[in-house]
Amino acid sequence: MEQKPSLFEELKQRNVFRVGAMYLVAAWILLQFGEVMIEIMTLPLWIGRALVVVLGLGFPFVIILAWVFDVSTRGLVRSDNDNVSELERIKASRIIDTSIMGVLVLGLGISFYLLQPQIEQTINRDEVIQGASQSSRLTQVQSEDENPYLLIGNLVDFTGTSANSGLSYGQAIIDSSNWINENGGINGRLIDLDTVETSYLVPRAVNAYRKWQTQDILAIQGWGTQIGLALKDEISEDQIPYFSASYAATFTDPSGKAGREVAPYNFFYGPSYSDACRGLVQWAQADWKSKTDSIKAHDGAPRFVHMGDNHPYANAPKEACADYAQELGFEVLKPIVFSLVPGDFSSQCEALKKTGADYAFLANLDKSVATLLTQCHEKDVDVQYMANIWGFDEGVIQEVGEAANGVVWVMAAAAWHDSPTGMYTVREISKMSDPEETKYRSVHYLRGICSMFYLKEAMELAGQTGKISGPTIKAAMYSAENWVPQGLNGVCLPASWKPDDHRGITRVLVYQANVKGDTQNTSITKLMSSGKISMSRVFDADIPRRPEWLGY
């Protein structure tokens, strides 16, 4: 009498263990991919939890199917099918084993690429961006007397959603650091700039900060509103000055007296996103009056609409600007949501047309804004666009051509073609990565220089009064009013940071794009010199430091 196989043997024979293992490996890969996509697409966190629940519930269901059905070279067959030979079952088992190994290798590759970025490496002159020659030389924490280097972190986005502006801004930080080092450093000590590519992802920035916490980090040049929010509390606790490329008003209240977020170690160069939008609304009010006087406007209040993604960056000025627009007599319409990731925005263009909006504030980044402008132009949407500071630049004008004509946006520094006295220093800094002087530098590049030079001078002042540290750098930021870094007159706007108010700049420069003719297949330099594209300042707003606007 043939002995009945044990339950373990039967499970093994029916490949239940193999199928279960393959399911777990596939689920692991899916969770990793889901985590990254949730981060990139800024999806609600409940989606990630739901994915875990669904995968968990699916496991016993797959195990039951594996018990009922056998995997053979002819596909799935019922376990009681006697027509399937043992050889076929063995071959099928080997196929499953191979699949498990293949999926496992793929999962390890995805894990290494997405969740373990090379934060131990810094960008050098022969990698991603020419001119980034500083590498991390600090292998252990040394005393200040022994260590000739000053470690500064640099979070950048060279490949993610904000890469267009991120490349310009990040390169400016790198070039400025190299120029400072070649011109005496900071009180004779050299900057050790540790540049970390975040791809606009919070986990990568957090990983970098974890590393810096074990080192003698003095300050950070940051990037991304969501990254700044994730690090805000820790940098305050660790007393690390964080010079943000995010200008969210959330980072302007150092004491918490306004009853909102507290950010004592956050600084940024430029008007806050909220103040920038307020400046644009002031311009819109003046523009509407001129149209009304010339009988070109409709009866009633001008209509204002916010357009942007449901994302910390786009949402930062949303309520504050809508409140101010209403205060100035605008009819504020329901916001229109469109993604930071470029895609098909035809429905948003149709919605914008139906609202009858007169002024649309574009709160997204440049790639997304460029796509929306192009598609809405093709649909003959008639509205005056106003763009946030990271949503528009010379590159967008070149890319979208006629669709960019008339767009107004916020500037906070001189442009590459301007000629104030400080442009000599800017040109010299640019040579650090472009010795042949062939590149056109966008408006973001100049703001990056300003940010780095404010940090430079604060560190110099801190060193003159004692040890350079986070608290002494912070104190130095309050030492001057209407402060412009040496050598950058006319490039950087005068700034005044106060111990109870980190709104360093409240002046908003509004520029307008002018396009004449085809902008394709021609460099920005040639387009500028030929007059096919130009940028003209059309408005200058001084935003009052109203107490209720601190942090808002």
Query: What CATH number has the domain bearing residue 329?
Result: 3.40.50.2300
Residues 220 and 73 in one domain: no
Q: Are the C-beta atoms of 131 and 175 separated by less than 8 Å?
A: yes
C-alpha to C-alpha distance for 380 and 82, rounded to whole angstroms: 68
C-alpha to C-alpha distance for 198 and 157, rounded to whole angstroms: 5
Interval 164-206: pLDDT, tens:
999 999 999 999 999 999 999 999 999 999 999 999 999 999 9
Tokens at 490, concatenated: 């006319």
Residues 239 and 259 in one domain: yes
Residues 192 and 208 in one domain: yes
Q: Can you say how many angstroms the Cα of residue 543 is from the centroid of all Cα atoms in its chain?
A: 25
Residues 524 and 395 in one domain: yes
Tell me, yes or no, whether 141 lies in a domain. no
Interval 421-472: pLDDT, tens:
999 999 999 999 999 999 999 999 999 999 999 999 999 999 998 899 999 9
C-alpha to C-alpha distance for 263 and 253, rounded to whole angstroms: 6
Tell me, yes or no, whether 14 lies in a domain. yes
Report which of residues 40 and 349 the model is more confident about.
349
Tell me, yes or no, whether 138 lies in a domain. no
C-alpha to C-alpha distance for 193 and 237, rounded to whole angstroms: 22
Tell me, yes or no, whether 126 lies in a domain. no
Tell me, yes or no, whether 488 lies in a domain. yes
- CA dihedral angle for residue 415, residue 416, residue 418, residue 420, rounded to 10 degrees: 90
Tell me, yes or no, whether 136 lies in a domain. no
Give the residue numbers spanning the domain of 397.
Answer: 274-417+508-542
Residues 428 and 402 in one domain: no
**pTM for the model:** 0.79
Residues 162 and 185 in one domain: yes
Residues 482 and 532 in one domain: no
Residues 384 and 515 in one domain: yes
Helices within 41-157 (DSSP H only): 45-68, 86-115
Exposed, middle or buried by CB within 10 Å (0-12, 13-18, 19+), for 395? buried
Q: What angle do CA 409, 226, 314 make, to 5 degrees?
A: 35
C-alpha to C-alpha distance for 416 and 418, rounded to whole angstroms: 6
For the chain, how many structural domains are there in total? 3
C-alpha to C-alpha distance for 13 and 542, rounded to whole angstroms: 78
Residues 190 and 288 in one domain: no
Interval 279-291: pLDDT, tens:
999 999 999 999 8
Rounded to a whole number of angstroms, the CA Rg of the chain reads: 28
Interval 486-544: pLDDT, tens:
999 999 999 999 999 999 999 999 999 999 999 998 999 999 999 999 999 999 999 99
Strands (E), 73-124: 75-78
Tell me, yes or no, whether 549 lies in a domain. no
Residues 287 and 403 in one domain: yes
Residues 412 and 446 in one domain: no
Q: Which of 95, 115, 135 is the last residue of a domain?
A: 115
The reported pLDDT for the residue numbered 37 is: 66
Tokens at 417, concatenated: 């073609």
Tell me, yes or no, whether 134 lies in a domain. no
CA proximity to 239, closest of 270, 271, 216, 269: 216
Residues 466 and 327 in one domain: no
DSSP 106-133: HHHHHHHHHHS--TT----TTSSSTT--
Sequence-ordered list of residues with C-beta below 8 angstroms from that of 106, at least 6 positions apart, any chain: 29
The reported pLDDT for the residue numbered 512 is: 98
